[in-house]
Amino acid sequence: MPVLELLTSSWLGSLLGMRHALEPDHLAAVTTLVSRERSFAKAALLGVWWGLGHTLALFLAGAVLVGLRAEMPAAASDVFEFAVSLMLVGLGVRAIAQAARLGANGPTHIHRHGRVVHSHAGVPAHVHIGAWTLARTKDEVLRELNEAHVPCAPVKTAREVAYDPHLEARGFWVDVDHPRRGKTRVPISPIRLHTGGKSEIRRPAPTLGQDTEAVLGELLGLKADELATLRAQHVTEPVTERKKA
C-alpha cells in the first residue's frame, strides 16, 4: 500500500532526523549561536530558524535525488561534510573573537533597580553589592545598613538562633536530657500569659517505638507475656540507645 509505505518511511525519516539533530556538530553550532541571547524566546526562535533552514536544505537535496532517481555521490557527500566542518570552525573562531573583545569580565548585563537602569560586566548577579558585603562581617553589614536606615535583618545559622541573647533572656530555650542525643536545647512555647504560669517541658520527645508497649498493653489489652514475646522476636524494639559520637 503506497500510503502505508509513505507513512512508515516518513515516521522513520522523522526519527532519524531527530537523532541527527542531537549529534555533536548540531549541538555545538546551535549552542554557539544562542549563547549570547539573554531572552529565552529569542534563543528558541534562533533554534527554530536553524532547524527550518536545515530541513529546507535536506528537503531540496532529497527532492532532487528522488526526481533523478539517484543516490548522493560519495564525492558530493564529502564536499558537504567538509563545508559543515568549515562552518563549525568558523563558529568557533567567532566565539573566540567575541570572548576576546569582551575581556576577562565577560559580557555586559543590563538590569533594573526600580526606575534606575544600569549595566555592568561580569555575571548577571549584583556583584557590586556582593563585593561590598564580602568585605564585611554579618554584624558590620547590619550595623551600617541600620545606620543608613535601610530595612534589613541577618540570616542566622541554627547555632546563632539557639544561643541568641534576646531569646536567652526571654527564656525561649530549655536544655533537656534526651535518651539518644543527651543534653539537647529545645524551644518552649513563645506565648506568655499573665495568669498561665511559665511554660515548661515535662519530658523530651519520645524516641522511635518508645510508647509502643504502652499502646499495645493499655489500649489493645496485650498481656505482659505477650509483650515480652513480641520484644524477644524483635517485633517491638524501642530505640533508646544514645547515638555514638
Question: 40-92 pLDDT, tens per residue?
Answer: 788 788 778 877 887 787 778 778 877 877 777 888 778 878 887 888 788 78
DSSP-derived letter for residue 122 is: S
Report the C-alpha gap between 19 and 22 in whole angstroms: 5
Do 20 and 56 have their domain in common? Answer: yes
In a domain, 114, yes or no: no
Percent of the chain scoring above 70 in pLDDT: 78
Phi-psi region of 38 (alpha: psi -120 to 50; beta: other; left: phi over 0): alpha
* 112 burial type by CB count under 10 A (0-12 exposed, 13-18 middle, 19+ buried): exposed
Confidence of residue 141 (pLDDT cuts 50, 70, 90): very high
For 196-218, the pLDDT digits (tens) are: 667 778 888 888 888 888 889 88
In a domain, 77, yes or no: yes
Do 52 and 130 have their domain in common? Answer: no
Do 97 and 15 have their domain in common? Answer: yes
In a domain, 140, yes or no: yes
In a domain, 78, yes or no: yes
Do 146 and 222 have their domain in common? Answer: no
In a domain, 113, yes or no: no
pLDDT of residue 168: 85
Do 137 and 216 have their domain in common? Answer: no
In a domain, 148, yes or no: yes
54: CB partners within 8 A, 6+ apart: 21, 26
Residues 186, 173: contact at Cβ < 8 Å? Answer: yes
In a domain, 115, yes or no: no
Do 27 and 67 have their domain in common? Answer: yes
Report the C-alpha gap between 172 and 163 in whole angstroms: 10
Do 29 and 65 have their domain in common? Answer: yes
Give residue 170's domain range.
Answer: 161-203
- The set of cell numbers assigned to 45 is 526562535
Residues 165, 179: contact at Cβ < 8 Å? Answer: no
Do 137 and 85 have their domain in common? Answer: no
Do 210 and 197 have their domain in common? Answer: no
28: CB partners within 8 A, 6+ apart: 88, 91
**CA-CA-CA-CA dihedral for 74, 80, 81, 83, to nearest 10:** 150
Average pLDDT, the chain: 78
In a domain, 112, yes or no: no
Residues 142, 150: contact at Cβ < 8 Å? Answer: no
Do 91 and 62 have their domain in common? Answer: yes
Do 13 and 69 have their domain in common? Answer: yes
pLDDT of residue 130: 72
Q: Is the pLDDT of residue 174 over 80?
A: yes
Looking only at the bridges linking them, the beta strands covering 116-121 and 182-187 are unpaired
Do 74 and 23 have their domain in common? Answer: yes
Number of folded domains that form the chain: 4
